[in-house]
Structure 1
Amino acid sequence: MRYRLGVDIGGTFTDVLLMEEDSGRLVALKVPSNRQNPEDAIIAGLDQLDARHGIAASEIAYFSHGTTLGVNTLLERDGAEVGLLTTRGFRDILELRRLRLPKANDLFFPRPRALAPRRRVAEVDERLAQDGEVVVPIRRDDVLAAARHLVAQGASNIAICFLHSYRFPAHEQQAKTWILEEFPDLYVIASSDLWPQQREYERCLVSVINGYIGARMRTYFDTLEDKTKRAGLATRIFSTKSNGGVMSVEAAGERPVETLLSGPASGVIGAAFIGRMIGDERLITLDMGGTSVDIAVVDGEIPYSTENTIGDFPVLLPAVDVSAIGAGGGSVAWLDAEGVLKVGPRSAGARPGPACYGRGGTEPTVTDAYAVLGIMAPGGLLGGEMKLDIDKARAALATLGERLGKTPEETADAILQVATANIYAELVPQLARRGVDAGDFSLLAYGAAGPTHVFMLARELNMRRVLVPPTPGLLCALGCLVADLRADFVRSLWQDARDLADETLAGCYATLEGEARDWLDKQQVDVTETYLIRSADICYVGQSFELNVVFPDEPLSVEALQRWFHDRYELVYGFADRSNPIRILEARVQIVGVTRKPNFDDLRPFATAGDKPASSRPIYEQGRAVTGAVLQRAALRPGDRFRGPAVVEQYDTTVYVPEGFEVTVDDWFNLVGERLK
Structure 2
Amino acid sequence: MNTPRPSAEPAPARSAAPAYRIGVDVGGTFTDVVLAAADGSALHTAKVPSDAAQPAAAVVRAVTGILERHQVAAEQVEYFAHGQTFALNTVLQRSGARTGLLVTAGFPDLLEIGRLRLRDPIDFFADPRRPLADRRDVREIPERIRIDGSVDRPLDETALLAAARDLLADGVEALAVVFLHAHAHPGHEQRAVALLRQAHPGLIVAGSAELWPEEKEYERATVAVLAAHVAGLLRGYLGDLSHRLREQGLSCPLHITKSNGGVMSVQGALAADEGSAALLRAAVETLLSGPAAGVAGAVRLATAAGVDDLVTMDMGGTSVDSAIVEGGRIPYSTDAELGDFPLITPSVEVSSIGAGGGSVAWLDASGVLKVGPRSAGAHPGPACYGQGGTEATLTDAYVVCGYLDPDTFAGGTVRLDPAAARAAFAPLARRLGTDVEGAAEAVVDVATAMMHAQLVPLLARRGVDPAGCRLVPYGGAGPVQAVALARALGIRHLLVPWSPGTLCAFGALVTDLRHDLVAPVGQTTGHLDDERLRTVWKDLEERARLWYRDQSAVLHDQVALTRWADVQLAGQSFTLPVTLPGDGQPTVAALSEAFTARYRAAYGVDASGRELDVRSLRITLTARSRPLTPRTGSGTEVRPRPHTVTEHGHRVPAGRVERADLAPGVRFKGPLVVSAPDATVFLPTGACVEADAMGNLLIDAGRARGKAD
TM tier, smaller = over 0.9
Residue of structure 2 in register with 1:398 after alignment: 426
Match of 1:522 in 2: 550
Secondary structure at 2:318's aligned position in 1?
Answer: coil
Structure 1 residues 327 and 532 mapped into 2: Cα distance closer, same or farther (>3 Å)?
Answer: same
How many residues get paired?
672
1:279 maps to a residue whose letter is G
Give distance in 1, aligned partners of 2:103 and 2:150: 18
Tell me which residue corresponds to 1:649.
675
For 2:302, which of 275, 281, 287 is the aligned residue? 275
- Work out whether 1:285 is the aligned partner of 2:316: no
Q: More displaced, 373-382 or 263-272?
A: 373-382
Q: Which runs of 5+ in 2 are unaligned?
A: 1-17, 270-278, 703-708
Map 1:555-574 to 2 at 5 A: 555-574=585-604
> Which amino acid in 1 is paired with 2:76?
E
- Which of residues 71, 74, 87 is equivalent to 2:88? 71
- The answer to whether structure 1 residue 538 and structure 2 residue 564 are counterparts is no
Partner of 1:180: 197
Ranges in structure 1 where 5+ consecutive residues have no aligned partner: none
Distance in 1 (alpha carbons) for counterparts of 2:365 and 2:280: 50
Question: Aligned partners of 1:575 and 1:362: how far apart in 2?
Answer: 57
For 2:462, the equivalent position in structure 1 comes to 434
SS in 2 for 1:509: helix
1:576 and 2:606 are equivalent in the alignment: yes
RMSD over aligned CA atoms reads: 1.6
Q: Are 1:23 and 1:602, in contact at CA under 8 Å, matched by a contact in 2?
A: yes
Q: Measured at CA, do residues 605 and 51 of structure 1 come closer, stay the same or move farther in structure 2, by a change above 3 Å?
A: farther
Q: Given that residues 27 and 606 in structure 1 are in contact (C-alpha distance below 8 angstroms), is that contact kept between their aligned partners in structure 2?
A: no
| 1:296-375 mapped onto 2 (5 Å cutoff) | 296-300=323-327, 301-375=329-403
CA contact (8 A) 2:312 2:323 kept: yes
1:53 CA displacement:
2.1
Tell me, yes or no, if the aligned pair for 1:470 and 1:604 is still in contact at 8 Å: no
C-alpha separation in 2, matches of 1:44 and 1:54: 15
Q: Hey, what does 1:117 align to over in structure 2?
A: 134
Q: CA deviation at 1:250?
A: 3.9
SS in 1 for 2:608: coil
- Distance in 2, Cα, partners of 1:605 & 1:153: 64
Deviation at 1:380, TM superposition (A): 4.6
Alpha-carbon offset, residue 239 of structure 1: 0.6
Deviations 1:46-69 (A, max 9, x none): 232244222233322111001101
| Number of the residue aligned with 1:547 | 576
Q: Is the 8 A contact 2:522 2:616 kept in 1?
A: yes
After superposition, residues 225-304 of structure 1 pair within 5 angstroms as 225-252=242-269, 253-255=279-281, 256-300=283-327, 301-304=329-332
> Alignment partner of 2:507: what SS?
helix
Identify the match of residue 489 of structure 1 among 493, 496, 517.
517
Q: Encode CA deviations 1:573-603: one digit per residue, 9 max, x unaligned.
A: 22222232110111110101112233x2514
- Normalised TM-score (structure 1): 0.97
Most deviating of 47-56 and 412-421: 47-56
Does the 8 Å CA contact 1:7/1:15 hold for their aligned counterparts?
Answer: yes
Give structure 1 regions of 4+ aligned residues with deviation exceeding 4 angstroms: 604-607
Aligned to 1:91: 108
Provide the C-alpha distance between the structure 2 equivalents of 1:605 and 1:74, rounded to a whole number of angstroms.
Answer: 44
Is contact 2:634-2:663 (8 Å) kept? no
Q: What TM-score do you get using the length of structure 2 for normalisation? A: 0.92
Say which SS state the counterpart of residue 218 (structure 1) adopts: helix
Output the CA distance in 1 between the equivalents of 2:635 and 2:100. Answer: 51
Distance in 2 (CA, whole Å) between partners of 1:55 and 1:211 is 39
Shift of 1:605: 9.1
- Of all paired residues, the percent bearing the same amino acid is 46
Equivalent pair of 2:675/2:681 in contact (CA under 8 Å): yes
Q: Distance in 2 between matches of 1:605 and 1:226?
A: 39
Letter of the aligned partner of 2:681 in structure 1? V
Compared CA separation, residues 202 and 615, structure 1 to 2 (3 A): same
Residue 585 to residue 24, structure 1, CA distance change in 2 (3 Å) = farther
Which has the higher mean CA deviation after the structures are superposed, 401-410 or 192-201?
A: 401-410
Partner residue in 1 for 2:218: 201
1:172/1:251 Cα in 2 relative to 1: closer, same or farther (>3 Å)? Answer: farther
Match of 2:272 in 1: none
**Amino acid across the alignment from 1:207:** A
Q: Deviations over 1:405-447 (max 9, x none)?
A: 2111111111111111111111111111111110011111111
Give the match for residue 617 of structure 2: 587
Residues 1:631 and 2:657 are matched in the alignment:
yes
Shift of 1:613: 7.5
How much has 1:152 moved relative to structure 2? 1.4
User: Residues 124-159 of structure 1: CA distance to partner in whole angstroms, max 9, x if unpaired?
Assistant: 211111121122122432221122122112222211
